[in-house]
Amino acid sequence: MKAGALGVCAEAGLTVALVAAIERGVNEDEVGDVLRFGLAHPAVRSVAYQPVTHAGRHFEFDPRTRLTNSDIIHSIVEQTGGALVASDFFPVPCCFPTCRSVTYLLVEGETVVPIPRVLRVEDYLDYVTNRVLPDPAIRGALERLWSASAVAGSGSVAAQLTCATCAIELPPGVSDVTAKAFMVVIQDFQDPYTLNVKQLMKCCVEQLTPDGRLIPFCAYNSVGYREQVRASLTGVDVLGAVPNARELLPIIRVGPHGSKVAAEATNGGWPAPARNVGSSL
């Protein structure tokens, strides 16, 4: 069914981003296959890898063995036979360096050329971030390319790539950037074990709540804000959610909204709430 949907998108000229959640011991060995599939499919213009965030519902896990962006990048390098290398990826400037990494590829048949091979991205990113009056065209192009809002295959990205590479002699046959640009993103989200206030302060992915607050995505899903909002919208009290690490399994129950919660069993009735990592703020 999913393959059929991708085929329909290709026929309609719609571009698709494949998003794969990657968990150690589950599918980390399929990172290269996902990328190869995306590169070969006419509808796919980007692949996003997300190391599994251990908040809400997920497999049992050991927080000491969680995957990171670096793990995914090295898996891509190993599973593509070095067609991509670690230096092809750059952190997105708008957020914390360990949150999101991205590269762009120019694809012509079986030939794949990472943009950082023909454009010294680090030089231009430094020009963007550390100068008082950077060139507006270069600044605008790179800020949008290496940002959390970039969408591969769009006309805007094509224009940005054209601008960013206007002084570069590209390989032959890559003038049609819209059809040949491919984005690879690795996005890590924090969980209760890795929550870092400094990272939250630089977050560029926000959750808008009904009362008008903008809450960093990782905080919203890891420290109780989601439970607060659910309770306010449904009128049903939501117990504090916890990550279901193996050590916590004896005290974990399924709450009324499906999240894992920590609680003490009481005479076969609904568990009484207990203080835990995910208590509502």
Q: At what angle do helices 136-145 and 121-129 cross, to 10 degrees?
A: 110
Q: Is the pLDDT of residue 29 over 80?
A: yes
pLDDT average, residue stretch 125-154: 50
Are 174 and 259 part of one and the same domain? no
**Sole residue written with tokens 């980390």:** 28
Q: Is the same domain home to 146 and 217? A: no
Provide the domain limits for residue 209.
Answer: 204-273
At 16 the pLDDT is 92
pLDDT digits (tens, 9 = 90+) for 90-137: 887 778 888 989 888 888 888 898 988 877 776 656 544 433 333 455
Which is more confidently placed, 270 or 7?
A: 7
Q: Do 210 and 178 lie in a common domain? A: no
**Same structural domain, 159 and 255:** no
pTM of the predicted structure, to 2 decimals = 0.70
Evaluate whether residue 280 is within a structural domain.
no
Pick the closest to residue 79 from 36, 113, 38 (CA basis). 36
Kindly state whether residues 174 and 262 are assigned to the same domain: no
Q: Could you tell me if 168 and 239 lie in one domain?
A: no
At 245, the pLDDT band (50, 70, 90 cuts) reads: low
- When pLDDT is averaged across residues 173-178 and rounded to a whole number, the result is 49
Q: Tell me, what's the pLDDT at 259?
A: 65
Specify the higher pLDDT residue, 198 or 143: 198
Q: Which of 62, 61, 35, 60 lies closest to 49, judged by CA?
A: 35
Q: Are residues 208 and 169 in the same domain?
A: no
Domain count, the chain: 2
Percent of the chain exceeding pLDDT 90 equals 33
Report yes or no: 242 and 278 within 8 Å, Cβ to Cβ. Answer: yes
Does residue 278 belong to any structural domain of this protein?
Answer: no
- Reference 102, options 42, 182, 202; nearest CA is 182
Average confidence score pLDDT of the chain: 75
Q: Taking each helix axis as running N to C, give the angle between helix 31-40 and helix 69-79, from 0 to 180 degrees, rounded to the nearest 10.
A: 70
271 in Cβ contact with 253 (< 8 Å): yes
Same domain, 40 and 136: yes
Q: Say if 133 falls within a structural domain.
A: yes
For residues 98 and 91, the answer to whether their CB atoms sit within 8 Å is yes
Same structural domain for residues 24 and 163? yes
Q: What is the 3-state secondary structure (H, E, C) of 56-91?
A: CCCCCECHHHCCCHHHHHHHHHHHCCCCCCHHHCEE
pLDDT-derived band at 241, boundaries 50, 70, 90: low
User: Is residue 171's pLDDT more than 90?
Assistant: no
Residue 19: what pLDDT?
Answer: 95
Q: Is residue 106 part of a domain?
A: yes
| Dihedral class, residue 166 (left if φ above 0, else alpha if ψ from -120 to 50, else beta) | alpha
Q: How far apart are CA 248 and CA 278, in angstroms?
A: 13
Residue 186: band (very low, low, confident or very high) from pLDDT cuts 50, 70, 90: very high
Map tokens 């943009």 to a residue. 115
- Cβ atoms of 240 and 203 within 8 Å: the answer is no
Q: Look at residue 146 and tell me whether its pLDDT is greater than 90.
A: no
Residue 193 in any domain: the answer is no
Q: Does 32 reside within a domain?
A: yes
Same domain for 122 and 22: yes
